[in-house]
Amino acid sequence: MEATVEQKLRALFELQTIHTSIDKIRTIRGELPMEVADLEDDVAGLETRISKIKEEIAEFDENIANKKALMKQAAALIKKYEEQQNNVKNNREFEALTKEIEIQGLEIQVAEKKIKEYTFEINSKTKVLENAQTALVERQGDLDLKKAELDKITKETEKEEEALNKKAAKAEKDIEERLLIAYHKLRSNAKNGLAVVTVQRDSCGGCFNQIPPQRQVDIRQHKKIIVCEHCGRILVDDSFVAQEA
């Protein structure tokens, strides 16, 4: 059996009332879920940054170790060449060894210069690392606080919201699909989440524009689904409110 327009309007108004209650709960929770999500992003970003910097520092440490090994090798060679110079047969051999010693000496100089550069890099990266670690501790602290706050509020409102969601799902079953789609579209387009509004002081309860007297008469008769000419919201008279309460 097809529901009457009045039944349809009552079902829509009931659904709106339930959704308004859910909206109120979400307002109490406010911006917290978003703040928590933002902080989680921050923390994850800092953690990635910190591990990247640590990797970079480790790489410089490794480079320094390599250069030190190279210097040790060069020093050993120099020592060897100097010993050989004591046993040369002629000037030409002596000169050749002197040249080799010079080359190894240059190797050591280049390695020393590189080590200085790497040390400088490590120092500056360590500072960046320390800043990131401090920021991480702060953000993590903020996150823990906000999360605890959100958990508390969520727990307080969870049961209520769950019951309302169930109620809403049940109410939706009694509404034909076409109307339900229109309702949800109106609700998502409206900043205040209102798709069904009452006439208040001769005006639309959603956009507060005046409603002509004849239209108000039509609304009171519950024979047609009447929408606001300005905002498109479904209008009901306030006799619905009294019955809801």
Q: According to the binding rule CB under 5 A, does residue 204 interact with Zn ion?
A: yes
In the complex with Zn ion, the residue whose CB is nearer, 175 or 231, is: 231
d(CA 156, CA 148): 12
3-state secondary structure of 201: coil
Using the Cα atoms of residue 73, residue 78, residue 80 and residue 81 in order, give the sign of their dihedral: positive
In the complex with Zn ion, the residue whose CB is nearer, 25 or 227, is: 227
> What stretch of H or E contains 235?
strand 234-236
Minimum distance of Zn ion from residue 174's CB (angstroms): 25
**Contacts with Zn ion, 207-236, as mask; x by CB under 5 A:** x--------------------x-xx-----
User: In 3D, which of 44, 25, 46 has the Cα closest to residue 154?
Assistant: 25
Count CB neighbours of 152 within 10 A. 11
Q: Output the CA–CA distances (angstroms, integers) from residue 26 to 12, 23, 156, 162, in the order listed.
A: 21, 5, 12, 12
Minimum distance of Zn ion from residue 187's CB (angstroms): 14
**Residue 2 has what DSSP assignment?**
P
Minimum distance of Zn ion from residue 172's CB (angstroms): 23
- Part of the chain binding Zn ion (CB under 5 A), chosen from 85-93, 107-115, 183-191, 203-211: 203-211
Q: Applying CB under 5 A, which of residues 18, 122, 206, 236 lies at the interface with Zn ion?
A: 206
Minimum distance of Zn ion from residue 13's CB (angstroms): 15
- Part of the chain binding Zn ion (CB under 5 A), chosen from 39-47, 51-59, 84-92, 204-212: 204-212
In the complex with Zn ion, the residue whose CB is nearer, 45 or 232, is: 232
Minimum distance of Zn ion from residue 232's CB (angstroms): 7
d(CA 183, CA 9): 11
Q: Output the CA–CA distances (angstroms, integers) from residue 50 to 46, 63, 102, 122, in the order listed.
A: 6, 20, 42, 14
Report whether 16 contacts 238 (CB < 8 A).
Answer: no
In the complex with Zn ion, the residue whose CB is nearer, 195 or 231, is: 231
Minimum distance of Zn ion from residue 206's CB (angstroms): 4
d(CA 202, CA 189): 23
Minimum distance of Zn ion from residue 227's CB (angstroms): 8
In the complex with Zn ion, the residue whose CB is nearer, 170 or 224, is: 224
- Part of the chain binding Zn ion (CB under 5 A), chosen from 17-25, 28-36, 169-177, 197-205: 197-205
Which residues sit at the interface with Zn ion, rule CB under 5 A? 204, 206-207, 228, 230-231
